[in-house]
Structure 1
Amino acid sequence: MNSIRDINIKSMFPSAVYNRGVEYYNNHLVSDPVFDRNFKVWTATVHGSDDYFVEISTPDLENRTMEAHCNCPAFETFGPCKHIAAVLLAISNSDRSNSIRRSRDYQVTNWLMSAISSLNTYQPASEITQQKTPLHVEYYLKWNLDDNLLLELKVGEKRCLVVKDIDHFLQDVFSGNEHYFTKTFTYNPDIHYFHEQDRAILEQIFSIIRNEKVYADRGISYIRDTSDRAVVIPPLVSKQMLYSLQERDVTVKADTGTYRSFEIVEDALPFHFDLKKNGKDEFTLLMDNMDSMTYFEYYHLLFYDGVFYYPKQDQLPIVEQITMAGTTHDRLHITKEQADTFISEVIPSLKKVGDVQIADDIASEIIEAPLHAKLFLELDGNWMIGKLTYHYGDYEIDPFTGREQNDGIVIRDMEKEQQIMHLIEYANFHYNGKELYIEADEETLYEFLYHVLPVLDNYLDLFMTGDIRSLLIDGAPSPSTSVQLESSSNLLEIGFNVHGIDDDEVDRVLDAVLEKKRYYRLQDGTFLSLEDEAFTSMKQLFDDLEIQKDDIQDGNVHMPVYRGTQVDELIGTQKQYGPAFQKLLHQLKSPEEQVYPLPENLHAELRNYQVTGYQWFKSLSAYYLGGILADDMGLGKTIQSIAYMLSEPGEAPHLIVAPSSVLYNWKNECMKFAPDLQVAVLAGTPAEREQMIEAYSDIDVWITSYATLRQDIALYREKTFQTLILDEAQYIKNYATKTSQAIRQLKAGRRFALSGTPIENSIDELWAIFQVILPGLMPNQRKFKQLSHEKIAAMTRPFIMRRVKEDVLKELPEKIETVHVSELTKEQKQLYVGYWRQLQQDAAQSMETEGFNKSRMKILAGLTRLRQICCHPSVFMENYEGESGKLNQLMDTVRNAVANGKRMLIFSQFTSMHEIIIEKLQDEGIDYFYLHGQTASEERVQMSERFNQGEKSVFLVSLKAGGTGLNLTGADTVILYDLWWNPAVEDQATGRAHRFGQKNVVQVIRLVTEGTIEEKIYDLQQKKRELIDQVIQPGESMLSSLNEDDVRELLNI
């Protein structure tokens, strides 16, 4: 807490006082508050029925230390008042409105101080003081008739002279001016100096005077002495000032004498009292030295015999009353009628502030014993009747009549008696002059028995008749819960029981819990409280699981199995689980401990975290559940899914729905890692797709796009899939879209979503995904929005598997290389097939007539044209208006990577391709750097440094221009848009990010178009990579190593 605006002002005042303070502030009745930085004191005047002066001291706000004072009558009687509340509000709002200006002023002031200070010639303090004469300061502390502390000064070299005008003197001191005293002495700052402690005190005094002037200039009354030679010490800074003066040459001028020094005591007071008998039934209280004491009301300070005493807060009211009486009388006469009350109530208060001596002949009559209060209760129809008595030892007192049934003088514990009377009021008892009573209907009776009685029991000895005790249950019956998993129905059976309650009443107790009643009245009239922790947990269980009355049959409720972990977290300590349910919980909570074997025909070696992902798939699948695999981009969501599908043969086909750009990537990955699976992509015309789906049972894995599925949804209505896998599930993050609606119509035994970003903009996106993969798990959208993030996390935890690269860094290689396969669009395919057939024909004829060596360049030019069509026909065609499958795939990858916080390099050897990509990035609002062959060397370095420092997410690089000489370790993803003939050149490109200084795992993605020359080039690269590593040096073109057999293989000649 650094300022008053950080304080909860409302909590400091009773609501009525605070509200009045708000009215005063809103009605502009507070003068502008002024802050004294030396004393850390705020001062202001509030204009009410009179003008009231408010001081607020903030010596240590960091530790919530704050003191306030107002000179209004209400403050003296009740403490914090509406005027203080109004000033605090004014300061708080002044802080807020002026914070920006003050920050700016602070900077300007700092600059000005620095500039002026640099002009001054530095001279060490030791040199200054050695050359100057120290001045001695004498301080004289006294007080006026209003008991305001006054301070006067004397100053001099050897003999001190009276400072006749403190204000004028201190102005000269702190302005560096001379000050005339007498013909023989003038203060001169060039030859005189003050000791450090004295100078600090003088600064405090000068600050007090400045505050006086501020208020005087505003026409506000401020307490001060009429003499210029004295300054009034304000109450809020008096303690600080006294401690400072105590160490200096100070004289206290009191009415009782002059003291050359003083002490300060905070843990004791000087009062001494003697109670003596003054006749048969009368007493006298002697109060020693009261006429020699001075109490400073506004300072909360007492002076006696050279000592300033600070009473504790709880002593202040007593001290004020004693001094008020004692300064005029050093003894008090107590009559016979006053004796009992005085000794019983006043003497205990006197003991809190001083020493009390009681004469022996009085002490023998005084009974001093701890208070024991007794409350006797009985039930009379609808009335609770009570009798309250106070007991001090063997003596009994009626608290209402005050009559004591004895002859002694009892010292009563008035504080505790007052607490008990407050409790009686809290219990809503009324007194009819004879006894206490409550009109008790059933609700009031329950409230009294279970809420009021426990409180009363802490302060009173309770005595109750049998008819009251019969309403209370012996021992608190607590509910217990059992959970079984019915394997035949795959449902949870939750059973409820209440120990000590007959079975035929359990359902009615549960109904009362559902109705959120505070209690249930058993058939025998006993009250069963439903407010203890166990029943509260049960209420929460019913609320969270949306259990209704009709759901409960014979104390049992059936729930879907996906509620398992939620039920476990909601049930209290009294629970019993069946073995099948225990196994379910273990599988959902600890998938890494499961031992489902990996398929033997999986052509891949999974990393440890991928095995855990596979076990997670299998654990959920065993109970026909689904989930979200939310692993970070590049951690292998695809291979984990393929391993799972391979392990689940026969029941029905699996269906994968993915973005159009990655359909063939899925197919290739399945063929690569699970060749035993029959995989088909649902593509082509609507008629072709309809014909394909008719043979759906002959295929193990079907793959389709979101757009195609939306068009074909009617074809799926009679089909049931074993598993539905939704790749890039953010495609269904909007519940209301046609795509999301279509997906929800699919029939599948298990449903899994794959997404590195299941939440991109709103938590509602997670809700939409779960409506597909586990419908029913989440409440409706309105209730879902009201859930805390912690509750949502607990509800979904078993069904979301999320690992980021930092979690599994030790398992990852330094570089992860993957191939993403795309499909030619319809327009691309027409162009590609035409060019390919022409090249195939021309190459065959040319090699036949001219030979391979003479035909090489013409053939390679044709191969390059085919590669450009795969990239985007617009690379060389000006009037092409169609799309590119590879470009669509790139943009999907870029969007996903940016959403995951990845930073990427995109390489292409075609400048015109970069221009097309740039246009797409601009459409998406994705910022980028672009380095090409014409980029100046200096600009290359600047762009690299800015990118490595975190600026922009994408860096486009020409494969030739950026293949060497660049350090781009700010990237963690490298995308090779088009393949280069020589893999060594590609390795140089990926080396821009994967090099010394890279702290992240680098993912390298090669984009390859299915069924084209690119696939053949990639296969050829892999075959010749080992030979290239051995023979071809980096930079040597692989083109020169292409032989006639390679060309014939590439063109199917």
Structure 2
Amino acid sequence: GLRGALHPSAQPRRRGSREHARLPAIRADPFCVPELDRFLAERGVWIDPQALTLLQEIRERHAAAAGLVELSAATDAPLEIAGLGGELKPFQRAGVSYLLAQRRAFLADEQGLGKTIEALATLESAQAYPAIVVCPASLKLNWLRELERWLPQRSAQALRGNGSGEEIAAADITVLNYDILAPRLQELARIGAQALVLDEAHYCKNAAAKRTQAVQRLAGEIPREGFVLALTGTPVVNRPTELISQLRILGRLEDFGSGAQFGERFRGHDAHLRLHWHLRARCFVRRLKEDVLKQLPAKTRAVVPVELDNEGEYRHAERDLIGWLRSQPLDLGELDAKVAAAMRAERLVRLNALKVLAARGKLHAALTWIHDFCSSGERLVVFAHHREMQRAVLEHFPAALHILGSDSHAARDAALEAFQGPDDASNQLIVCSIEAAGHGLTLTRSSNVAFLELDWTPAKHDQAEDRCHRIGQQDAVNAYYLLAAGTIDETISTLLERKRAVIGAVTDGREQDEEGVLDALVRELRGVPYRHLRAVA
């Protein structure tokens, strides 16, 4: 509404005797134009001639941006690209059209809509070679596979190791992982790249991280007329300010002012909606599955409450933790930064220890549930976070495939191919690490995914679910969360759903308040009773 477009303390510069001179001023934000015009028309508001000039200027800025805002959500666009090894879907053509127009932008389509394909099509349409792709190490093989399929006429290579200063061989597309980027910067700068593609670009949300700084330097080597594409279905993992370092890498932060101005500008009643609109007007294309893939069945989430077999041990640890939390300050923001950081780290360690205890207590029930589910003959993807849980599942199901952090990239690729192959008794179950297999991979041979543990951010669960819920899936996807009732599992689950709403406020343009999951969990444990889980029918 207009409330968020008002400066509460702003006053017109010219003070006169007229009553309107004492009224608050409306922020000159093009986002507000449609609602402002409706308000003026409905109320018959008189407009000062000087204000009318400014209003017309804002209307023109809104009109100029409207086309890009529309294209950023378009589900089709006329576009022909020679040389592709397949045919783009209509919404993918629209995405490529937006990227070709803006050149430095987020490609933030929801998980499973083929961002890799859109990025490759953009490079080919613009002939933006040589190009560099930076991605997580576990996705390098996937990029090479997609390159071979979609751009068979282009040469591609994947870099390994830190290098020794030697020249990188000539290739149209060079793929490397974030971990080896910093030591390779000088060699990469000599490539003369015309495009940089950052897969899982939210890896660069922390401006102080060495990885982010290395990516920033590499992006600076791309000519201004070149392409910098940030691929991520979750550009905001926790809070909107994580966009600042990513916008800086794209060379788009100046469109929003400085980092400090970004935070100042996008606050208030409608801050998330305004930020969402301005992103789409400049450098953000995003479509949801429900908008573009009507043939893709809906994804459903179900909580499966399970019982603890270490109830006494868990409750004792829980009481100790709650007592300790109540002895600590609730708001760490009031403390010295170093003291607050140390206390937050200790909180995290203690909370994680309680999470592990709950995981151990529900393990027997979880293994029984997996066994019963597999008896149906359907395939299942199981995600677990801690190695202890991963090993326990594999010991119980020794024939299961696995994609874990300790597996080599070759072993992960072999497990992926086996799971995606024809039905066989040996590929009904695959056990995965949320970190190693939670993004970039396709596991569409299963329409069922189960989580034995919860992460601190809903984005990781959403990405893991979308290993099954993506292009190629023919069935409805069911995500089962095996949670210990009446434990920390239950509270975190509630808070993660709250966090999903906050993240959606920026990425999908919905209004919500935000609070960190960790801080909210501490607040809940200190005094708010658990909301008991309801069993799945």
Taking structure 2 as the reference length, the TM-score comes to 0.48
Higher relative contact order (Cα pairs below 8 Å, separated by 6+ residues): 2
Higher strand share: 1
Higher helix share: 2
Taking structure 1 as the reference length, the TM-score comes to 0.26
